[in-house]
Chain A
Amino acid sequence: MGIRFILCFNKQGVVRLVRWFATDDSSTEPQEEISQIYRLISSRDHKHQCNFFELSETTKLVYKRYAGLYFVMGIDITDEEPIYLSHIHLFVEVLDAFFGNVCELDIVFNFYKAYMVMDEMFLGGEIQEVSKDVLLERLSTTDRLE
C-alpha cells in the first residue's frame, strides 16, 4: 500500500532527491536500485511509452519528466497508478510556487528545502496535504523559523 520511494534525478542520472518509505528485507543496495531505475526510465521513449512500469514483484514505477528532471514514485504493486501522476504534478507545482519558477538549480542548492516541501506533502507513503494554499502558507512559516 502506498508509495515505497520517491526519486528525483536529472538526465545524467545524478540523484537530486531520494526518499524511502519502505524496503524489502531482501532488497538490493540502494545505489543499485537507483541506477537500475535510472537506466530503465532514461531509456524509455516519452512519446510512445506510458508513464508506468512494473519494476518487480512488489513495486511499480510511476514517473514523469519535467524539463531536465525525472520525478519517480515507486508504488505498491497493488495500487492503481494514475493518482500518483497527480501526486507528482502537485509536488512540482508546489516546488514551483515555493521557489518561484523552480529550476533544477534551486533543488541543487536548496535540496534541504526541497525535502521540506516533500515532508509537508508525503508521509508514511501517503499524501498528507493537497491544498496548495495550505501547503505554501505552512512552508513559508517553516522556512522563516530560525
Chain B
Amino acid sequence: MDRRKPFIDSTVSNTGSNIKGLQLFIADLRSSQQSEDQHKRIQSEIVKIKQHFNASTGKSSSNGRILGTDKLDGYQRKKYIAKLAYIYITSNTTMLNDIIFGLNEVVELIKSNVFSEKFMGYMTLEVLYRHPIVVNKINDKVIAQLIQDIGSTSDDFTELGLNFVGVASGLTKQLSSNPDLVSEVFQILRSPTSSLYLKKKSTLAFLSLLKTNNSILSEDIQRRRLWIQRILSLLDDTDNYRLTLTTLPLVEYIAKNIDPSYFTRLIPQLSEILYKCVVVSNSGLRNNDFPEEYRFANMPNPWLITKIVSLLHSLIISPSEIERNNGLFDSGLIHTDNIDSESLGKLRMCVMEAINLGTRRTADPMEKVVQNTILFSLINFASKLDPSHEAIVNSATALCNLLTSNDINVRYLALDALIRLCSFSGKTAYDSIRGKNLDLIFHILNSEKDSSIIRKVVDLLYTLTDSDNVKIVIDQLLHYLTTSKHLTDPHIKSDIAVKIAILTEKFSVDPSWYVIVSLKILSLAVMSAKDEEIWRRLCQIVVNNPQLHEITCTNLVEHLRGNNISEYVVKASAFLLGEYAESVQNVISISELFNLFAEKYFMVPNSTKAMILSTMIKLYKFDPNIGSMVIRFFQLELNSLDIELQTRSYEYLKLIQISKMTENSHLLDALLQPMPPFNTKSNPLLNRLGSLSTGSTSSSALVPSRSRSSSTFFEKPMPDNTDINNTTVMTSQDSESHEAPRPPPARKTRSSSLLIDTLAKSSTVDDKYLQLKLTGNWKEGFTRMIQFRQGVLHQSPLLRILYRISILDATRLEVSLTYINQTEWEISSLTSELVASHTDNNPEYIVQSSQVVDSSRIAAHQRVQEKFEVTIRKPFSIVEAPIINVCYTCGGSVNTLNLKLGVGMTSTLASNGLVSLAQFVTRWKTLSDALGKEGEYQANNVFLSALTGENMGEHMSKLTTTVKRMGFDVVEQANLPQTLFLAGIIHTRSDGNFGCLLKLTCLESGKVNFTCKTTTGGSLAQNIVECIQFALVK
C-alpha cells in the first residue's frame, strides 16, 4: 500500500454511499501539516456541527441566533455523525468528550429508514459502546430501536440490528440482560424462513449475548434443551458449511461454559466433516464433494478445521487428563476410550494428513501460514486421541525438529506445542524431549532476540525440570539473566527469577546449593516490587529448617561484606541475621555485624531501614556489650523525618533503658522470642505462574499436576497457631511485611467445581437423566423390550425404530437399533445419545456405543443402524433403565424422542435347567433358613393392566407366557392352579451371580401377589418383581 498515492487516484466504487462533505473535511485535515492547525480545523468543525444539531432540536445556539428553520435532513445528519466518528477514531479515542454531544443525533440516525443512514448510526455506536458513559446515556432508546430493526421485514435492517448486537453485547451486560432482545435474536436463528445470511449473523449475535450472560441458557432447563436443539439443527448445513462455521463457536462456548453433555453425540458427525475437509478434499479424488471455494491458499479450509478441532478438544477428555484429576471428570465430557472406533480412526487419519501437509514444500508465504495453522492445530489435538508411547515420542521429535526452522513463527508455535504436549502426555513427552534436546533449547534461549519466544522457552524449561536436571537448567537460566544482551523486557526477567525460585525450592536436594542460588536471584536485582515474595519465601524456609540457619547466615554475611548488594538481600539479612546471629559467631562478631548493618542502613529505602532497626535491637539482645553503639544509633534516628523510623527508634530506645534499669533482660527476652516455624506449606510464588497455567489449553495448571515433587526435603509438619506477630516487637509496617504469606487460593477451574458436584451426587440419579421427559408412548416399546429379544421400540408416522438384543456374554448385551424413515422426505440431523441413570465411578450398568448411526440423514423409506453395549454391573431398578435420546429433523420440524429401554435385571436372566417342585421347595426353605426375610420381597394385590382375560385361566396363561419369555423357569405342578413358581439366575459383572425364586399367586380379582427370594440382601428381589410388573403393564 502506498500512502502517497493521491486521493483522486484511489479507485473507490463511485456510488450513492459516498459522502462528499466528509471527504472534503478529511482532505482538509490531511492538507494541514501542523497538528495545531488540524486541531483548530477539528474544533471549528465541531462547533459547526453543534450549531446544526442544536438548530434541528430547536435550541438556540450560543449567540442566541436560531440557525435556519429547516430540519436537519438525513443525509446531513449522516455526514456530521460520520465526521464525529472520524474525529473519534483518528484521535485514538481520546476525543470522546468532544464528540459525545452528538449521541442523541446518532440515535436519530439509527431510527432512519434509509439503509446508509442507519448503517452509519449503528457503526458509530459500535465504536462508541466501549465506553460505559455512552451506554448509560442512550441504551434504552437503542434497545427499543434494535428490537424493532431485528423484527423488521427488511432483511437489511435485521442484519444491521444483529450486527450491532454481535459487537456491542460483548461490551456491556445491558444487552444480554434484556430478555426481549435475546428472544428476538433467537427468533431469527431458529426460524426456518430466515435467510442463510441472517442465520449466520444471528448465531454470532447470540453467541455474543451468551458470552456476557450465561443464564440465558443455564437457568431454565427446558429452554436450554429446546434452544440447544435448535442450535444443533443448524449444523445440518453440509452443502457449503457456511452456517456450520458460525455455529461451531457457539456450540463450543456452550460446551465449555454451560453444558457439554448435549454435544458429545456430535463427535461422529464432526469427525466426518473434519475427515472430508482434511483428507478427502485434499486427495484429489473424484467423489470429493467438498466445496472448492472453501479451500484457502491451496490448502483445505483452515477455519473449518480449527473450529472443529477446537470443539472436539473441549468435548474429549483424555486418559492423562483424567489421571491428573485423580480419576474424576465432568461426566458430560467424553472419554477417549468411548469414542467409536470409526471416528477415532478418522481423527487419527486427519492428524497424519496434517503432518503430511505440513512437510509439503511451498513458496507461497500464505500457504505456509495455513499449512502451519492446520499442522499445529491437529498436533496439539493429537494428545487427546490416546496416542501410544511411540506416537508421543514421534510428535516430540517432530516438534523439536521444527525448533530449528527458519520461520520464527514456526519456532514459536513449536515451543508452544511442546509445552502443551508435556502438559497432556506427561512423562513420556518430557523424557523424550529432555533426552536429546535440552542443549538445543538452551541454544534457543541464548540466541533468540524475541521476548515472545524467550517466554515460551522459559515455560518449556520450567515444565521439563526435575531433580535430575534442575542444576543445569538453573545454571542456564541464571546465566541468561546475568549476561543476555537481548533481554529488555523487565517482566520476563522477573518471571524467570520467580520460576528459578520455585524450581530450586521444589527440586533441590542440596541445601547449600539452594541457599546459594536463592541469594543469587535476590542479588540480581532484576525484580520488581511484586517479587518481594521471593525473599520472604526464602526466610520462611530457612526459619523452618534449622539445618539451613548457619549456612544461610554465613552466605548472607559474605553478601553484606560485598559491594552492590541488592535491597532484597539486605532485607533477608536483616531478618535472618537478627534471628540467628549466634550461628555465625565464629565468622563475625555481633559488633561487626552491627557495623555492617549500620553501613547498609543509609543505602536502603525506609521500609528496609525499619527492618534494620528491629535487627539492631535483636543484636543488642545477643550481645548487650554493643549497647552504647545501638543507643547512639537509635538516638540519631529519633530525628528521622519518617514517622515509622522515629517511632521504632523511640520504642527500642525505651526497651534498652528498661532492661538497663531492671538489670535483667526479661522484657526483651519476652518480646524477642525465637521465631516459630511458619505454617505455610504451599509456595505463594506459584500464584505468579499465571500465564503458564492459563496458557495451556488444559484447565488445570501444570504445576499441581506434576506429582514428581510432592515434597521437598525442607518441608516438615509444622505446629499450628504460630502467629509471628505476637512474638516479636514489630510495628505495623514491619509486621505486615513479615506476615506469613497466605496459601494460594484454590484454582477455580471449571473441572474442579464440577468435580465436587460429581462427588456430591454420586449416589443419586444424574440430573440429566431426571430431566429427560419421556416421549408419550414410550411404555409400549419398553414393555416389549423387557419380554422380547427383538421388535418395535417406537413407531410414529415419521420414524420407526426397531430393536434387537443379542447376548454377548452373561452380563453384556448388545442392542442394535434400526431407524426407518416412514416418510417421503429426507430425515436429517439424526443423532442419538444414551443416557444412563448413574455415571459416577461405580455405576449399576454401563452403556457404550459400539457403532454410531451410519449417517445423520435417512432418505425416504431408507434405514440406518446403530449399536451399543450394555454391561450389567450391579442390581438396579428397571425404573432407572437407560434412556435413548434421539433427535432428528424432518420437513423443517425438529423432533426429539426420549425412550426408556427395557433393560433390567431380567435381561441377564438365565435358567438353570428345569426345576421340580420338590427342588423348589427345598431351595425356598434353605433360603428362608439362611437369610430369613433378608433378600425377600413381597408385593400383594398388584394390579396388572395387561391381564385382561375374562377368567382365571386366561390370566394364568398370559402370566405364564410372559414370565417364560423373560427367561424364568416355571416349575411344573398341578396342585396350585392359581400359583406359579419361578426360578432363575441373575448375572451381574461386579457383584456376581444370584439365584432367585418367585411365587406368583393370581387372585380372583385379577390382581397378583408376588413373593421373591434371592440369594443376596438388598434390593435385588424387588428389582426382579418390578421387571415382571412392568412387562405386564399396558
Contacts and interface: CB of A to CB of B under 8 A. Distances in A.
Nearest to B365: A89
B3 A49 contact: no
Contacts of A134: 242, 293
A82 B413 contact: yes
Interface in B1010-1027: none
Contact of B93 (A13, A34, A53): A34
B166 A123 contact: yes
Nearest to B11: A100
A140 B13 contact: yes
B89 A111 contact: yes
Given A1-B253, A20-B171, A83-B306, A31 B93 contact: yes
B93 A15 contact: yes
A143 B17 CA distance: 6
Interface-centre pick from B171, B204, B301 (highest chain A CB count, 10 A): B204
Given A23-B130, A99-B11, A68 B377 contact: no
Interface-centre pick from B11, B82, B156, B380 (highest chain A CB count, 10 A): B11
A145 B116 contact: yes
Interface in A62-98: 66-69, 77-78, 80-83, 85-86, 89-90, 98
Contact of B204 (A54, A116, A126, A133): A126
Contacts of B252: 1
A44 B451 CA distance: 10
Nearest to B453: A50
Contact of A103 (B5, B129, B366, B449): B5
A30 B377 contact: no
B408 A77 contact: no
B94 interface: yes
B3 A68 contact: yes
A131 B293 contact: yes
Nearest to B7: A105
A130 B26 CA distance: 32
Interface string B213-257: 000000000000000000000000000001001100100110010
Interface-centre pick from A66, A68, A123, A129 (highest chain B CB count, 10 A): A123
A128 B302 CA distance: 14
Nearest to B696: A78
A99 B452 CA distance: 35
B975 interface: no
Query: How would you classify the secondary structure of chain B's contact residues: helix, strand, loop or mixed?
Result: helix
Nearest to A107: B1
Interface residues of B, number: 91
B114 A126 contact: no
A146 B16 contact: yes
A99 B10 contact: yes
Interface in B771-825: none
B34 interface: no
Contacts, number: 238
Interface in A123-143: 123-131, 133-134, 138, 140, 142-143
Interface in B847-864: none
B114 A146 contact: yes
Contact of B89 (A17, A23, A49, A133): A17
A125 B302 CA distance: 17
Nearest to A5: B130
B17 A138 contact: no
B89 A16 contact: yes
Given A20-B171, A112-B123, A124-B208, A105 B5 contact: yes
A131 B242 CA distance: 9
B204 A51 contact: no
Nearest to B375: A82
Contacts of B85: 111-112
Nearest to B301: A130
A68 B1 contact: yes
A145 B373 contact: no
Given A50-B409, A119-B163, A131 B294 contact: yes
B10 to A, nearest CB: 5
Contact of B130 (A20, A48, A110, A125): A20
Interface in A20-72: 20-23, 30-31, 34-35, 44-45, 48-54, 57, 66-69
A31 B450 contact: no
Nearest to B131: A30
Given A45-B449, A54-B455, A124-B170, A35 B695 contact: no
A44 to B, nearest CB: 8
Contacts of B841: none
Nearest to A79: B310
Contacts of B409: 50-52, 82, 85
A42 B90 CA distance: 18
Interface of A: 1-2, 10, 13-23, 30-31, 34-35, 44-45, 48-54, 57, 66-69, 77-78, 80-83, 85-86, 89-90, 98-106, 108-113, 115-116, 119, 123-131, 133-134, 138, 140, 142-146
Given A18-B127, A81-B416, A99-B12, 20 more contacts: A18-B89, A20-B171, A30-B93, A44-B450, A45-B449, A54-B691, A57-B690, A68-B3, A81-B413, A83-B306, A86-B366, A101-B11, A103-B3, A105-B5, A105-B7, A123-B166, A126-B246, A142-B156, A143-B13, A143-B17
17 contacts: A19-B127, A50-B409, A57-B694, A67-B1, A68-B1, A69-B1, A77-B695, A86-B296, A102-B1, A119-B163, A124-B166, A124-B205, A124-B208, A125-B211, A134-B242, A143-B15, A146-B116
